[in-house]
Amino acid sequence: MLCLLLLCAGCSIRRVTFNDVVTPEQVNFIRVGQTTIRELADHIGAPDEVTESDFGGVALYYWSDTKSAALDFGAIGRLFLPYSPTMTLSKTGVTPEQFQVVFDPQWTVRAYGFSRRATDEPVIWFWPF
């Protein structure tokens, strides 16, 4: 138990998730030229943003998973010494992702696609180099 505590000493693990992930399986139902924005919202919820592009209206769905870990080598010293300086290694990875749908003037799907998908980062990874 003591060894485990010493191994964990100075560890700080943070994670922030924003919105639900939209998977390719969830958008299998979309038929270009047939599916409307209303049907899209009925299946995967309302988009986070609706905007206009040169090709027509665009609906954007955002989600992200931020993982951050830090290891403070000064933490153990603080148990025994009146002062122990902070010596921290820290790494943060933010993976914002998007699902984009372009509509024709009748708000029927013209095209859709996912943003570049990031590789899945480990939750604990504090080596910054």
Site residues (CB under 8 A) for another protein? Answer: 5, 8-20, 37-38, 41, 45-52, 56-58, 67, 75-76, 79, 103-105, 107, 123
Shortest Å, Cβ 124 to another protein: 9
Task: For residue 82, count CB atoms less than 10 angstroms from its CB and return exposed for 0-12, middle for 13-18, buried for 19 or more.
Answer: exposed
Distance CA 90, CA 100 (A): 33
19: its two tokens = 């919105």
Shortest Å, Cβ 52 to another protein: 5
Distance CA 87, CA 75 (A): 8
Which is closer to another protein, CB of 14 or CB of 31? 14
Shortest Å, Cβ 31 to another protein: 18
**Which residues sit opposite 60 in a β-bridge?**
49, 100
